[in-house]
Amino acid sequence: MNKFAPRFFPCFSPLLLLLAACGPALAEEASTGTSALMMPDGSRDMYVGAALTGSSAADDGASRGAVLRPLLQVQWSNGLFVSASGVAGMHLSATPGVEYGPLLAASNARAPEDSRRLRGTRRIKGSPDVGGFYGYYLGDQARVTANLMHDTSAHGWRGQLGLQKTLPSLAAHHTVTLSAGVSLASGAVMDELYAVSAAAGGARDYRPTGGVASVDMGVNWNWALSSKWLLNSAVTGTRLGNGPAHSPFIERRNVITWSSGLGYRF
């Protein structure tokens, strides 16, 4: 079981240094402010670094300590992008202010024996998910984002809708962005993630329906230390929807995720 990324459907990645820290959030972070259309032919934009990340809960509802994660993202002038977190895709739009394209994202595996709290849950294969992303800029300081993914393990759909707003600059080289959004999942995805069977050792039988997986709000702070070095810190608050929150193995409905990372741009 991959403990680095919870299965809570966070709508906004806490690391804007990455193309996506959680696969489905890529539509928001994909270019980190740099459009592929503005890159010279044959060029690339690459970040490497490390980030300290933490969360108040993992996918079994237990507390989780801080973890040091490597950061890597690359974007090419033809629109292709990839990150070490298991996300890849391509920008297809030639229209300024509009972003869209296909998306491929790695997905965590999970087994009932991974944790005592997970007894009676379903085994998750963790096969790659496929889908697409869309973004629309509302002027220079705000944008609407969306993505829709087919969960190949659950054979269902999940997606996110979000809004980002960059605040007026308070100081040179500093950027603060607020975000809010909602994550949705079909019944098949909810069932794979949060269903519990008493016959298989769970506390009680539980079968969630499709609907709202979570509502998220966050703040991100970028500090450009130089033309090459970037410090990024973020805090995201997530409130699980009724389906996940009422699952017997989920102990915390409200989850706080934080991160602070340093990246070098090539």
Q: What is the mean pLDDT of residues 227-244?
A: 95
- Average pLDDT score, the chain: 84
The one-letter code for the residue type at 232 is N
**In this predicted model, what pLDDT tens digit does every residue of 119-167 receive, in sequence order?**
999 999 889 999 999 999 998 789 999 999 999 999 999 999 999 999 9
Q: What is the pLDDT of residue 33?
A: 38
Q: Shortest CA distance to 249 belongs to which of 123, 120, 158, 125?
A: 120
**In this predicted model, what pLDDT tens digit does every residue of 62-109 receive, in sequence order?**
667 788 989 899 999 999 999 888 899 999 998 999 999 999 999 889
Contact by Cβ (8 Å): 110, 124: yes
% of the chain residues with pLDDT over 70? 82
Q: What is the pLDDT of residue 44?
A: 84
Residue 55 has pLDDT above 70, yes or no: yes
Residue 203 has pLDDT above 70, yes or no: yes
Q: What is the CATH number of domain 23-265?
A: 2.40.160.40
Q: What is the mean pLDDT of residues 110-122?
A: 92
Q: What is the mean pLDDT of residues 174-183?
A: 95
Q: What is the pLDDT of residue 39?
A: 62
Q: For the purposes of burial, counting CB atoms within 10 Å of the CB of 199, is it exposed (0-12), middle (13-18) or buried (19 or more)?
A: exposed
Query: Of 41-45, 167-171, 210-214, which range is least confident?
Result: 41-45
Q: What is the mean pLDDT of residues 28-57?
A: 69
**In this predicted model, what pLDDT tens digit does every residue of 5-32 receive, in sequence order?**
344 444 334 334 333 333 333 333 433 3
